[in-house]
Amino acid sequence: MMVIRPIRADDYPALYQMAVESGHGFTSLPVNDELLMRKISRSEQSLQKAVSSPGDEGYLFVLEDTSNGDVCGTSALEAAVGLDDAFYHYHLGKVVHSSRSLGVYKTVDILTLCNDYTGVSELCTLFLRENRREKNNGRLLSKARFLFMAEFAERFADRVIAEMRGVSDQNGHSPFWRWLQEHFFSVDFPTADYLTGIGQKVFIAELMPKYPIYVSLLSKEAQQVIGKVHEKTRPAIALLQSEGFSNRGYVDIFDAGPTVEARVEHIRSIRYSRKLQVQIGTPGPDSQPYLICNTTIENFRATWLPLTVTEQSDQVVLPQACADALGVKAGDQVRLTRI
């Protein structure tokens, strides 16, 4: 079975390999031993911590194929961003330049540096190894986080965002960054992205243009990628859009990739999730695919499988293999939602 579980120290080699494979622009998985190890221990500590409101917690999950123990994907949640260092975005807005006497009316797009998402929760680090991009693996990795958020709601803010990877080429060059680099910075995009990934973000505050930027003054190439996702990130944004996430004009300050957001109570997999009591047996003939998780934090497990769930019943029948994978037995509670 394909199972989502919290990362452990012995997953380090697999995490490192995925950091290498994820490539340029994947800010949250830098190829850096110390930082990757810190991410694992921070996640372990976050799960152990008693939390009543979101703070400096980060939860990192992996996807494991239980048939052979292969760890083939990651996804993560940050409880609250920007609480101990500034969290930047550009907001794409409009100004109108008009003169009635000259009969001129022009709408101009501007990018304004802001910290508007301070304190919100963040979905991040969604990566599935290429040879595993099949069946429901990507959906499971992305959406299992919503069951976790539903079950441990006190650990998260009421708004959640995801910064989608923007456009860059195979060598890691971002047309948006190239313009910024030319005028304001002298470091290339992979270096800036890497420094951000390892937490060295002070250079942003020091060098980033602080006044609004007229979009029409950017290079044509930079203008064209504002709010666009990297081609490999299209499935990731499609998964979030299917949950009700949308972009409200905020883009990444380095590659101009879109940030999408949703209120937690509006996220489909959370809104329609239900808690039911486990019975062991064989699901009925008219089964439908469901995402399902247990309700324990440190031993959190989620998977998907076809189940028969009726509106009226407060119970669900699970095959023994699924109950074993989730670490539940008859009488325990599980949370589920349609995948």
Which residue in 24, 89, 183, 230 is the catalytic one? Answer: 230
Verify binding: residue 236, ligand SCA, rule CB under 6 A.
Answer: yes
Q: How far is the CB of 144 from ligand SCA (least distance, A)?
A: 11
Per-residue binding letters, 156-175, with ligand SCA (x by CB under 6 A): ------x-xx----------
Min dist CB 260 to ligand SCA, Å, is 8
Q: Token digits for 294? A: 């247990």
Convert the chain into a string of H (helix), E (strand) and C (coil): CEEEEECCHHHHHHHHHHHHHHCCCCCCCCCCHHHHHHHHHHHHHHHHCCCCCCCCCEEEEEEEECCCCEEEEEEEEECCCCCCCCCCEEEEEEEEEEECCCCEEEEEEEEEEECCCCCCEEEEEEEECHHHCCCCHHHHHHHHHHHHHHHCHHHCCCEEEEECCECCCCCCCCHHHHHHHHHCCCCCHHHHHHHHHCCCCHHHHHHCCCCCEEHHHCCHHHHHCCCCECHHHHHHHHHHHCCCCEEEEEECCCCCCEEEEEEHHHCHHHHCCEEEEEEECCCCCCCEEEEEECCCCCCCCEEEEEECCCCCCCEEEECHHHHHHHCCCCCCEEEEEEC
Query: Judged by CB under 6 A, which of 235, 244, 249, 327 binds ligand SCA?
Result: 235
Q: Is 222 in the site for ligand SCA (CB under 6 A)?
A: no
Binding mask 182-221 for ligand SCA (x = CB under 6 A): ----------------------------------------
> Is 266 considered catalytic here?
no
- Among residues 43, 46, 121, 142, the one that binds ligand SCA under rule CB under 6 A: 142
Query: CB 216 → ligand SCA: shortest distance, Å?
Result: 28
Q: Is 29 in the site for ligand SCA (CB under 6 A)?
A: no
Smallest gap, in angstroms, from Cβ of residue 76 to ligand SCA? 7
141 binds ligand SCA (CB under 6 A): yes
Rank residues 60 and 316 by Cβ distance to ligand SCA and give the closer one.
60
Contact 122, 81 (CB under 8 A): yes
128 belongs to the binding site for ligand SCA (CB under 6 A): yes
Nearest residue to the partner ligand SCA, using Cβ? 138
- Select the residue interacting with ligand SCA from 38, 42, 201, 232 (CB under 6 A): 232
Q: Does 139 bind ligand SCA (CB under 6 A)?
A: yes
The residues that are catalytic are 230
Binding residues vs ligand SCA (CB under 6 A): 75, 123-128, 133, 137-139, 141-142, 162, 164-165, 230, 232-236, 238-240, 242
